[in-house]
Chains A and B, each alone.
Chain A
Amino acid sequence: MIEHGPHKTAITLEVNGLPQFVDVEPRRTLLDTLRIDLGLTGAKLVCNMGNCGACTVLVDGVAVYSCLTLAVECEGKAITTIEGLAQDGVLHPLQQAFVQHDALQCGFCTPGQVLAAHALLARNPQPTEAEVVAGMAGNLCRCGAYRGIIEAVLSAAQQTGPQQ
């Protein structure tokens, strides 16, 4: 492991397919780096202690709470935020399904929900309903759009089919 700190260190992150060079203190969270240093405000700061899931992003395809992840831990890793999901203006099937199934109200938890679902389907492309419920239990939705969220994930799984 590379030694960092206490002062700012230059690190390279691959964010939504592009290399990003940032100078961060070792204590800086991935969430602050994304939101403040890189201006990617899709991931949300809600509880700052891993209770709610609104800051969920993908690190090498795995869903992490970016409020509990240090930026320096992600050096050289591929980070996907909600801004990186649609390709050339075409929504990802999960994003389409969230719109279609009204899987949101205020929308503040939505980026985290979509990315948590993305990671869930990556490791379990054809989940049962119970598996989706369990898989999404780390993401709070205070508007209570849970049925829509579960339906959206199940429908996106059907659309994309079993992945190789």
Chain B
Amino acid sequence: MTTLLGSSLPRPDALGKVTGDARYPGDLVRPGMLQLKVVFAGRPHARIVAIETSAALAYPGVVAVLTAGDVPYNAYGLIDADQPVLCGDVVRFEGDKVALVVAESQEIAAAAAKLVAITYENLPAVTDPRAALAPDAPLVHQHHGSNVLGYVPIRKGDTAHGLAEADIVLEGEFSTSWQEHAFLQPEAGIAFVDDQGRLVVETAGQWLHEDRRQIAMLLNLPVEQVVIRYATIGGAFGGREDLSIQHLAALAAWKLRQPVAIVWSREESMIGHHKRHPISVRCRWGATNEGKITAVEAEVIADGGAYASTSIEVTKVAALFATGCYEVPNISVDGYAVYTNNIPAGAFRGFGAPQAQFASEIMVTRLAHALGIDPVELRRRNIYREGSIEPMQEPLPPGVSALPVLERCVTEAQARFQQAARRSDDHAPGTTTFGTNGITSHLRRGIGIACGIKNIGYSFGFPEQATATVELHGTGTVEHAHVRVGAAEVGQGTHLALGMIAAETIGLPLDKIVMITDDSSEAPNAGSASASRLTLMAGRAVQDAAVAALLAWADEERPAQATVQFRPPATTPLDPITTAGRPNYAYGYAAQAVEVEVNTLTGQVQVLRVISVHDVGKAINRQQVEGQIEGCVAQALGYALMEHFQMRDGHILTPHFSTYLLPTALDMPTEIVPVVLELADPQGPYGARGVAEMPLVPLAPAIAAAIHDAVGVWLTEQPMTPERVLMALGAQQTKIERPG
């Protein structure tokens, strides 16, 4: 065995990225290509009365104006094909697309797009998910019959019995806002017909073969006639799971038989792609004086926006994690994915788990306070262990590490936060601090802790597989290997991790591994870069294919080649009657402790320290695992405190980085301590699980607990902006001044 695995080799794509040589989709665009401009609806709900394209077509330099009638099969979507490529009759959100202008330059396309005259008859819009559930609410999709996109019931035991058993019952209400992925590389790509008559789309995405399936479907083409190639991808975070521009460039290039390019501006990107779901949770938790949680009832409502995207799947995950990582004997959860005339919501790192556990983790800490039990101790008494029964009534998949992860987090926090407290003795955590002049300081410090759980891979019966091909070349001995695996490198480092797994398994140095990964006609389907799944799923496919190729090599096959499709244990679809089954085949477990400083004059919260503990099974590349943790903490911090994506009456109010604020280096904690545990997952290659999403799960509730520790108020709306902190402090003040 080499010592390759676990080392911190630099990523092979770093050289191109520091020199500017890396080519992202927007860099492929060259003069001479036709340019595409989208005409957006710009209104939340309306009937299209007429579309007049003649003025745009007459504009010098315009080649074509495409509308609904130009789309061979005008419906698409990741799960349900409920979204028109171009709207012909009704528009259902501000970012709906009505026409495409193809012109000789971006400037001409933009000018002509303004000449596409569309007559609308506005329809009543429904932009609040609870209002959308009312029987007389305007329907977003008439033929669907209601605005309930999906209903997700989860039942275990008997909550009436469980609540009766409880010595204490607490109620809570929580809400989260949309989150924008804000990958810095805006959507872009080019499409052309190659010399073999294939439609080639060079772009960014998260799943080559799914992009291919959808584009082939809407153009009525066999999948083999469509080739998706990924350029260097400038971040994704779930935001490139749905098609955004890929199919538009493909449609125009196929129609016109000319190369067509598109690059979205930041505003177009903000309006054009889906967001993280705003989710509201109303819940009731019961526990005994001994600290056993007896029952949880919850209602989980997710604003899915105008189209399905992955809303039902996200809602299932949110409903499943309404009880966090705790074994609760009696559970009743009603989850609703709701159609509204807001921007569609879909995949975003964490996929429903952060919203659900913002509520559940705060409830557990509140229960602990009410019972007079240490919040860590209450967690210990209820946390998932090997063999614990999930909300869907079956045991967890083996490899449950929630408790060791929590214990390690507590140990690290005790050591580090006490050190920190000693270093600044006038700022001991959890205490009121005093300035030198003796008056109460406006800066208060507090600490908080929270746990998290997130599934790895697809859930609830969604077909899960990853395929890889390994070819071994050489004469006497294996000299080099080709690894074919269609896994999207979105910056997370998967190509390096998969290459390291191949090198380790074959026994070759890393530089003798050639990775073939970015062309749907050259690399087999490894599934999406999502659900923290590629290291486990694609990694296992690569490992198994390498082992099989070595056997073929031993049988004198030259070059020796093997293709392996890895399938994990099957999961089961949600049965709405029994609600029983096996939702997932693997989980990642996390715990975080944070220290914050709350400015009681401005409401600003500065996160000072974060300890982030994760069981990754096996760190294939330690530096990149730590990078994932730190990077995800940055995104979680933005989500918890700053990133306030807002809509009013179906219109986006925050379409720029000047109004939608992202964390800078100055907003980051002075210290992030990534702690990596390696408790092997039974499925994973060399025991590896995933880690990409898990740090996003506990951070917001840990910060909420720390704010509570510092100033005694609970924030239940996310993001916890200065305004909301001040409002909560004001409410507390009012309560003190006017008791009762």
Which residues of A line the B interface, CB within 8 A? 35-36, 40-49, 51-52, 54, 81-83, 85-86, 91, 95, 98-100, 102, 104-111, 114, 133-134, 136-150
Contacts and interface: CB of A to CB of B under 8 A. Distances in A.
28 contacts: A45-B263, A46-B184, A46-B266, A47-B266, A52-B184, A83-B20, A83-B21, A95-B18, A98-B14, A98-B18, A99-B18, A102-B627, A105-B631, A106-B233, A107-B16, A108-B183, A109-B184, A114-B18, A139-B664, A140-B662, A141-B665, A142-B237, A143-B235, A144-B630, A144-B663, A145-B631, A146-B630, A147-B630
Contacts of A44: 24, 26, 184-185, 234
Given A47-B656, A51-B656, A145-B630, A102 B491 contact: no
Contacts of B11: 102
Given A137-B664, A142-B235, A107 B266 contact: no
Interface residues of B, number: 56
Interface in B1-28: 8, 10-11, 13-24, 26-27
B663 to A, nearest CB: 7
Contacts of B186: 45-46
Given A44-B184, A48-B266, A107 B14 contact: yes
Contacts of B672: 147
Interface stretch (B130-138, B428-436, B632-640, B679-687): B632-640
Contact of A99 (B14, B493, B631): B14
A107 B635 contact: no
Which 3 pairs across A and B sit closest by C-beta, in order of nearness?
A: A42-B20, A144-B634, A106-B491
A162 B266 CA distance: 39
B706 interface: no
A144 B632 contact: yes
Contact of B20 (A40, A98, A106, A147): A40
Contacts of B14: 98-99, 102, 104, 107
A35 B233 CA distance: 18
A141 to B, nearest CB: 8
B232 interface: yes
Contacts of B624: 102
Interface of B: 8, 10-11, 13-24, 26-27, 31, 181-186, 232-237, 263, 265-266, 490-493, 623-624, 627, 630-635, 656-658, 662-666, 668, 672
Given A146-B634, A150-B665, 7 more contacts: A41-B24, A44-B185, A44-B234, A46-B186, A46-B266, A99-B15, A106-B185
Contact of B19 (A43, A45, A86): A86
Contacts of A139: 664-665
A83 B265 CA distance: 24
A36 to B, nearest CB: 7
A31 B658 CA distance: 20
Contact of A104 (B18, B237, B634): B18
B26 A142 contact: no
Nearest to B659: A51
Contacts of A141: 184, 634, 665
Given A86-B19, A107-B14, A146 B235 contact: no
Given A133-B666, A143-B631, A145-B631, A105 B235 contact: yes
B635 A105 contact: no
- Which has the most chain A C-beta neighbours within 10 Å: B17, B27, B657, B664? B17
Given A46-B186, A47-B656, A143-B491, A83 B19 contact: yes
A52 B234 CA distance: 14
A66 to B, nearest CB: 13
Nearest to B263: A45
B470 to A, nearest CB: 26
Contact of A41 (B27, B31, B658): B27
